[in-house]
Structure 1
């Protein structure tokens, strides 16, 4: 058991660019020996089709849901510090859509907590994306 309490240091749904380095810096602490991070980047293809850009739309309660997911992870993993953000709006190929950083005393806890955090965000966060394909058609992904 860690002598440092788990905490969520930052969560955000942002229309402006997000930085994995800033999230790593927020999560880092002198008590932590590991900072594990994930950076989800907009890619130029999906299902064999060329993607030009994405539009992310979030439910008005998305910030609260993201904070709750992060808090739940902090409650499940001992002694972690969490910083996470998701972008909304129009994103170009190569833009960062999701950043997550988890600091922990040891790497195993950090990897496990970061992986679970990202999985829960992908499943539970009410943010949907509209993919704009090179042939002119669009497709909503994750819509209810």
Structure 2
């Protein structure tokens, strides 16, 4: 089965689920798992009006390494893109798509990948709160 796809990117432009699905599609892959992280209107009980993502200079390299490791471990094709810059409520902040011959590895890899990205890739979120305050997350 072709498991050679490992796409990662940090980008300021809106993310495309259609591009991700098209990229991972392969006749050998019967299971595709998708995670889309959206900007929500609240966090920790406070209203959120918008946010800005800032990536460490090594974030792209660490994102690629994390994606490669998880994809290799589970034998999946993987597409990961994370936004940087200013986002509004409802915008897609991260798209993770994995594909495998069967649903099990695709689902497991997708879940593991987003968890490892959140834990190990230095991308920080500055939330503009509805009350006018500001909160940094992930420092």
**Fold in common (TM above 0.5):** yes
Match of 1:71 among 68, 73, 77: 68
Aligned residue for 1:97?
A: 93
Aligned residue for 1:59?
A: 56
Aligned residue for 2:34?
A: 37
Find the aligned partners of 1:99 and 1:25 in 2 and give their Cα distance.
Answer: 13
Aligned residue for 2:125?
A: 129
Q: How many positions carry a matched residue from both structures?
A: 139
Find the aligned partners of 1:40 and 1:7 in 2 and give their Cα distance.
Answer: 25
Instruction: Report the CA distance between 1:124 and its aligned residue.
Output: 0.5
Q: TM-score of the superposition, structure 1-length normalised?
A: 0.93
Instruction: Report the CA distance between 1:5 and its aligned residue.
Output: 4.4
Q: TM-score of the superposition, structure 2-length normalised?
A: 0.96
Aligned residue for 1:120?
A: 116
Instruction: Report the CA distance between 1:86 and its aligned residue.
Output: 0.3
Q: In the TM superposition, what whole-angstrom CA distance separates every residue of 1:27-84 from its partner, at most 9, and x where no partner exists?
A: 1111100111100000000111110001100001111111000100122112x10000
Instruction: Report the CA distance between 1:9 and its aligned residue.
Output: 3.3
Instruction: Report the CA distance between 1:6 and its aligned residue.
Output: 2.6
- Superposition misfits of 4+ residues, deviation over 3 angstroms: none
Any gaps of 5 or more consecutive residues in structure 1? none
Deviates more, 1:48-57 or 1:15-24: 15-24
